[in-house]
Structure 1
Amino acid sequence: MNLRQQRIHVALLSIAQGLLLINGVTMIAVSGLVGLVLAGDRQLATLPVTFAVIGTALTTLPAAFFMKHYGRRSGFMIGALLGIGSALVCAYAVYSRQFWLLCAGTLLGGMYGAIGQQYRFAAADVADLSWRPRAISLTLAGGILGGVLGPEISKHTRGLLEPAFLASYLALAAIGVLALLIASRLHVPPLSHKAQHAPGRPLGQIMKQPAYLTALLAAACGYGVMNLLMTATPLAMDICSHPFASVAFILEWHVIGMFAPSFVTGSLIKRFGLGPILVTGAVLMFTCIGIAVSGVSLMHFWWALTLLGIGWNFLFVGGTTLLTETCRPEERAKAQGANDFVVFTIQGVTSLASGATISAAGWASLNLMAIPLVTLTLAATLWWMGSGKGRRQTA
């Protein structure tokens, strides 16, 4: 595949990533509030989001192995169909006022999300080694569409139909159709017959590598902390009497913070190395926590959630780039699938803890819960850098 073809496919993957994030951001923006209405209990309000994360965690390994044998395009098309089904089930749940059906719909959405997590690895598959960090970061940069359009869709469709947010879910079904069309145009080079059937090293041996552990912790910290705080943000702002328009504004800037840096993260990795980027991501997470516990004004939420997004970007892009360097082609499915399984299991735990903690202990206590995971990630990264590999250029 020549450079022009690589760029075309990365552009398609970036658009697909954007459509995935429109779905995810809109789901997060509305499902907690819809869950509160349907369940009538703040402690259960984030359960639909938790079901989405459970769906993601349960599907990561099957998705990776399916694509190993049947190709990226087939997997991504199935993911888009799951996204369409998720939106329609959620819409019917809102219409019929069934809380557990809403959870079932978000579970399907989580399965779509798990398959969509492979977009970044597909970008690594189509890119030459020298262009791989930038291909990964540019693919993730497509998520800025989610940051801009997701909150706007939820805001402008909230009252279009009755009950509230019914039109929001129907709009996501249309987004899923677009994702299906994009997936049908992808032609990611398949693995060779030998790579499809070669066992490679045992997973335990792969995961014992210091680089793999560092990559795993970076991604788990990025997603775990981000999900813990972002999932609770609509509820926290509601408790603090901020209007829904302000919630949409904060989530919009949070997702922009998550994905806008991707236009430069790959270049920063090439210039400074993976280690400094991971350390910077952890420091930004600490800064986010410090701001969040210092107040609950709109600007406190804005600064905290924006820095949370940027910290997530550095940790996740850096961790993904490092992960691609720890496994051989025949080991990608199990190495990438295991990584995502751990990451989204942690995300599921943090999502479940989010609603219960903010109801019982408040926003400040919720933020303090994130400190141990960020500290562990920073320590692991510094340990890996101390081995002399953290400043190695990815070129």
Structure 2
Amino acid sequence: MSLRMERGFVDVLAKDASEGDDAMRMGQIVCACPASLPRAQITDNRLTLAAGFGLAVLAQALVLTVLPEQSRLIAPTIERVGWPFALLLVGAALASFPAALLVDSFGRRAAFGLGASLGVAGGALAAFSIAKGNFFGLCLGALWLGFAQGFALFYRHIAAQGAPRDGLVVLAGGAGAALLAPLFVSLAASPGATLLAASGLHIGALALSVRMPHVIAGAASKSEWRLTGRFILATVAGALAWFIMSAGMLHGPLTLAVCAATPAFIGGAMGWHLFSMYGPAALAARWPAFFPPFAALAGGLAVMLAGWGAVHAGASTVNVAAGLLAIGVGWGAANIGAIRLLHEGARPSRAALAFHDLCLLGAAAAGALIV
């Protein structure tokens, strides 16, 4: 009986194999997992991306409120005051290619979850280092916070794959978050508590990352790696904008502190500075015709140079705060132009986007160290 059953089973398999290629075959492995999500469900989550980016921007605002002044207080020499801020940007630059690679290989959930985890650890380490007066621990914590920021910056490229306007929506998510910075600074009783609050915000970003799709539904339809004129212009102009922005972010809070501004005033100035950086993206997402890419790049850089002049002069706290606002508005306009140049028409590959971010963040690190 056993032999007859075995022969019958083999006959059935042979019959199924003869019915076509789609039939079950002996030794065939069939996946019992649910079918992949439709592309619309994978890419249509720009609000989640905007929320995750907003949490990262708010955490960045809190870090930038206390990092320059605390670096000045515990740095062994005056030449090393800019190290933590520069390492924050170096970490973001170093994360560019890993972010692109992990998003492609392991999906958004794993990539952005890893970035947020590094932010949690970096904020906690920076807070501990300030409490102990450990300058090199503060540098390491800033580096980890930079890694988290580098991963978060890739949110805009992921969203812009569907449409360049979606990338602007993600950037606009940082505008609303930046307005909450003064509230968080006022609630925190010390610089260490402010950094712990930044660490907590990265925990929120980690919680959001697990709600993202695990996989990517393919690359953009027209992805290329060759260096086009639009790509080179967006990268060079964007690098100049990040260079000026970085110099302003480092020298602005330090100048305000030297002018005896209160921590609440410094936190408010940095919050409005970050709001001015991402606010123009909200207008561009609504009225893109008012932000042609070439005019946005040129006008943004001109406004940034004027703002840097006000910050560098340091005539008064009001002038420095106004200069920071001008730098933010110009940076926002320049990045709108860069995103439109990158993602309209034939779109660059993820490796090209990672190289673009590496150039921008490398220029920002240079601005923190050189200027």
TM-score, reference length from structure 2: 0.82
Does residue 175 of the first structure (1) align with residue 201 of the second (2)?
A: yes
Q: Which residue of 2 aligns with 1:380?
A: none
| Distance in 1 of aligned mates of 2:87 and 2:246 | 13
The 1:326–1:145 alpha-carbon spacing in structure 2 relative to 1, beyond 3 Å, is same
Q: Which residue of 2 aligns with 1:136?
A: 167
Map 1:263-278 to 2 at 5 A.
263-271=282-290, 273-278=292-297
Map 1:199-278 to 2 at 5 A.
203=225, 206-207=226-227, 209-271=228-290, 273-278=292-297
- Cα shift at 1:268: 4.1
Q: Which residue of 2 aligns with 1:97?
A: 133
Does residue 321 of the first structure (1) align with residue 340 of the second (2)?
A: yes
| Distance in 2 of aligned mates of 1:268 and 1:217 | 25
Map 1:69-88 to 2 at 5 A.
69-88=105-124
Point out where structure 2 has 5 or more consecutive residues left out of the alignment: 1-37
Residue pair 2:252, 2:311 contacting (<8 A) in 1 also: no
Q: Which moved more, 1:216-225 or 1:13-22?
A: 216-225
Residue pair 2:119, 2:202 contacting (<8 A) in 1 also: yes
What do residues 193-225 of structure 1 show as CA deviations (whole Å, max 9, x unaligned)? xx69xxx86x5xx22x21011110232122111
Paired residue type of 2:279: A
User: Which of 348, 351, 355 is the matching residue for 1:338?
Assistant: 355
The 1:85–1:292 alpha-carbon spacing in structure 2 relative to 1, beyond 3 Å, is closer
Q: Which moved more, 1:181-190 or 1:62-71?
A: 181-190
| Distance in 2 of aligned mates of 1:137 and 1:309 | 15
Map 1:365-384 to 2 at 5 A.
none
Paired residue type of 2:231: Y
The 1:213–1:188 alpha-carbon spacing in structure 2 relative to 1, beyond 3 Å, is farther
Paired residue type of 2:48: L
Q: Which moved more, 1:93-102 or 1:284-293?
A: 284-293
| Distance in 2 of aligned mates of 1:326 and 1:280 | 23
Q: Which residue of 1 aligns with 2:96?
A: 60
Map 1:38-53 to 2 at 5 A.
38-39=74-75, 41-53=77-89
Q: Which has more radius of gyration? A: 2
Residue pair 1:21, 1:150 contacting (<8 A) in 2 also: no
- Cα shift at 1:2: 8.2
| Distance in 1 of aligned mates of 2:314 and 2:154 | 37
What do residues 100-145 of structure 1 show as CA deviations (whole Å, max 9, x unaligned)? 01110110010001111110011113x3xxxx23211111111124
Residue pair 2:64, 2:270 contacting (<8 A) in 1 also: no
The 1:313–1:101 alpha-carbon spacing in structure 2 relative to 1, beyond 3 Å, is same
| Distance in 2 of aligned mates of 1:326 and 1:133 | 10
Does residue 10 of the first structure (1) align with residue 19 of the second (2)?
A: no
Residue pair 1:268, 1:277 contacting (<8 A) in 2 also: no
- Other structure's SS at 2:315 match: coil
The 1:4–1:71 alpha-carbon spacing in structure 2 relative to 1, beyond 3 Å, is closer
The 1:47–1:290 alpha-carbon spacing in structure 2 relative to 1, beyond 3 Å, is closer
- Cα shift at 1:352: 1.6
- Cα shift at 1:260: 1.6
Q: Which residue of 2 aligns with 1:297?
A: 316
Paired residue type of 1:44: R
What do residues 133-187 of structure 1 show as CA deviations (whole Å, max 9, x unaligned)? 3211111111124422234323431x3xxxx422112212211111011111112
| Distance in 2 of aligned mates of 1:38 and 1:22 | 25
The 1:150–1:111 alpha-carbon spacing in structure 2 relative to 1, beyond 3 Å, is same
- Cα shift at 1:256: 1.3
- Cα shift at 1:52: 0.8
TM-score, reference length from structure 1: 0.78
Does residue 149 of the first structure (1) align with residue 180 of the second (2)?
A: yes
Residue pair 2:299, 2:333 contacting (<8 A) in 1 also: yes
- Cα shift at 1:259: 1.4
| Distance in 2 of aligned mates of 1:188 and 1:219 | 31
The 1:214–1:318 alpha-carbon spacing in structure 2 relative to 1, beyond 3 Å, is same
The 1:268–1:291 alpha-carbon spacing in structure 2 relative to 1, beyond 3 Å, is farther
| Distance in 2 of aligned mates of 1:71 and 1:106 | 26
Point out where structure 1 has 5 or more consecutive residues left out of the alignment: 355-395
| Distance in 2 of aligned mates of 1:95 and 1:294 | 33
User: Which of 263, 287, 311 is the matching residue for 2:306?
Assistant: 287
- Cα shift at 1:55: 0.8
- Other structure's SS at 2:288 match: helix
Paired residue type of 1:227: S
| Distance in 2 of aligned mates of 1:279 and 1:95 | 44
Map 1:304-315 to 2 at 5 A.
304-315=323-334
What do residues 40-87 of structure 1 show as CA deviations (whole Å, max 9, x unaligned)? 544322211111111111121121122122222211111111111111
| Distance in 1 of aligned mates of 2:119 and 2:206 | 9
Residue pair 1:240, 1:296 contacting (<8 A) in 2 also: no
Residue pair 1:19, 1:145 contacting (<8 A) in 2 also: no
What's the Cα RMSD here?
2.5
| Residue-pair matches, total | 333
